[in-house]
Structure 1
Amino acid sequence: MAHDLQDLTTPALLNTIVDIMIPFPSTTPLDFTAIATTIINGARHFPPGIKPQIWTILIALSKLGLPNTPPLTTFLPPPASPPFPRLALGLQLLLDQMPRRLFRGIDKRWCAAYFDPLAVRFAQELDSLPEEQKPWAWGRWEGKVTMDYYIPVRIWFGTPFVHCDTVASQERAVRYFDEVRTLVEGVTGTTDPYRQGREGRMQDVYVMFKVLEEGVPIPKEGLRMEGFVYWMCMLMDVHKPVVDRFGRYPTKNLYAGREDTEEEKKWMEEVGRGSIAVDLRERLRLDFEQGVWTDLGVDSDVNLD
């Protein structure tokens, strides 16, 4: 099965996934208002025939089981090779972002409880590489793409740490986005204004949803790279208070078979994340009782182009 996956996970497909998620030219200045809209709103255009290919890989991965999945770097060329950074990004996006775009209904359990752990495992594999081989290192992209293009590259590599609801992953996410913040401060000669008030935000379990509701501030003259980066780094930071408070993301409890505490129920109602269809709750309850997973693809349109 792992050998079949290696055949399916082609460089052409992984490069296409990168193009889907970063649909901008790599060698010219970019419009960060457009980038913000694309990354935050999540609307994507899939070329014909790509979604079925993605589904084939995701379903094959789901059948392996987490304990039986080999190191995902084995699906890629050697880490020191020139194609590695972009192909590693494609694979990271396949694991971390495609389930978020494609899964519906009971399939969301696979996103929260299977592909999120798989994505962060892969991110940890990449993070264990020597600094000069890490695929998000600027030195691996410098001279090939603009700093404008590199910014979404760097952000996407970090999101699996944010999506993982362990304290260790959240701490790594904070360090990761501190690196991004510091890089941009050095390149632009500016200072992140969100450094002010950061300590208070890092204690606030409600601020993440306030930030998301308000969206990135866009000045009349348009959004500059540093404005977008600083806001995104702040958004990544404020996921951590939730995991610090509850030891997990309560929003994942339903899909992980975990009982909500009374404090978590109150918090989810307050942030507007507690409403799940009764029939879906019942289907998930039956799966957990029987110790099974409903096959991936039951509630999603696998063949949709």
Structure 2
Amino acid sequence: MDYTEVLEYWFGDDEKPKTGDVLKSMWFGNDKDLDRQIRDQFLPYVSMAGEGKLSLWLTSPQGTLAVIILLDQFSRRIYRGLSAAFRYDEFALAVCKRGMAEGQDQQLPIIQRVFFYMPLQHSEHMEDQEEALFLFSQLCNFASQEDAGLYENIFRRARNNFDVIKRFGRFPSRNAFLGRLSTEEELQWLSGKGAGMVP
């Protein structure tokens, strides 16, 4: 397998284009069948990426993006509901930052840049959240009028994550999965607005 299989699965290709609704459901939905499909098709490659065995992919923007998707997106679906869902977050963040330092993100279409930057949005460090918010606001400015709603929704998600980290310094919705004790304030938030939100 090479990185194009990851990208074609996640974004579609010219021969088998996926509709916008299908893609949005894939990217932001909670579908057990999709989780199973990704596990069956990509689990070995998620493990290889996590062990640093796909380093050759990192020489191109597309290859770097594929590694980020394996570590940051597919891992969340394969291990949904388990602490392992966040196992590769720091590695994905490092790959993202290295790619940005090399200008790889600037060579990608803006929809692919959304997922290049996702490790920043998933970080529990405030400086990463600030950078994510800035980058996603930029993507809104670059979006076509037709796609404006999608990018505004993505920016709102980034803003929500930013607000949570600013308030709590972490994502309380991860506490149960990671064996962390929640504060009273976090428990109140989790019982209301934060219910079901696990970035």
2:4 counterpart residue number: 15
Task: Give how far 1:263 is off.
Answer: 0.6
The residue aligned with 1:97 is 73
Identity in percent: 21
Equivalence map 1:156-305=2 (5 Å): 156-184=115-143, 188=144, 224-271=146-193, 273=195
Name the CA distance, whole Å, in 2 between partners of 1:58 and 1:228: 27
Is 1:115 paired with 2:84?
no
Tell me the CA shift for residue 180 of structure 1: 0.8
2:126 alignment partner AA: V
Using the alignment, how far apart are the partners of 2:181 and 2:76 within structure 1? 23
Q: CA deviation at 1:116?
A: 1.6
SS for the counterpart of 1:238 is: helix
SS in structure 1 of the partner of residue 124 of structure 2: coil
Provide the rounded CA distance (Å) in 1 between the counterparts of 2:2 and 2:94: 21
Matches for 1:63-102 after TM superposition, within 5 Å: 74-76=55-57, 78=59, 84-102=60-78
How large is the RMSD of aligned CA atoms in angstroms? Answer: 3.0
What is the TM-score of this pair, normalised by structure 1?
A: 0.55
Number of the residue aligned with 1:126: 99
**Contact conserved, 2:3 with 2:57, CA < 8 A, in 1?**
no
Q: Aligned partners of 1:24 and 1:237: how far apart in 2? A: 30
- What SS does structure 2 have at the residue aligned with 1:97? helix
Q: What's the counterpart of residue 147 of structure 1? A: none
- Separation of aligned partners in 1, 2:54 and 2:42: 18
Does structure 1 retain, via aligned residues, the 8 Å contact 2:77–2:85?
no
TM-score under structure 2 normalisation?
0.80
Q: State whether residues 165 and 243 of structure 1, in contact with CA within 8 Å, keep that contact through their aligned partners in structure 2.
A: yes
Largest Rg, 1 or 2: 1
Alignment-mate amino acid for residue 102 of structure 1: I
Note the C-alpha offset of 1:45. 6.1
Partner of 2:29: 41
Inter-CA distance 77–161: structure 2 relative to 1 (3 Å threshold): closer
Deviates more, 1:50-59 or 1:86-95: 50-59
Q: Would you say the 8 A contact 1:32–1:225 is kept in 2?
A: no
Q: Which amino acid aligns with 1:156?
A: F
- Residues 261 and 45 (structure 1), Cα distance of their counterparts in 2 relative to 1, 3 Å cut: closer
Equivalences, count: 193
Give the conservation status (yes or no) of the 8 Å contact 2:49–2:67: no
Closer, same or farther in 2 for the Cα pair 1:91/1:264, shift >3 Å? same
2:65–2:116 Cα contact (<8 Å) kept = yes
Uncovered stretches (5+) of structure 1, i.e. residues with no partner: 1-11, 65-69, 79-83, 142-149, 191-223, 275-305
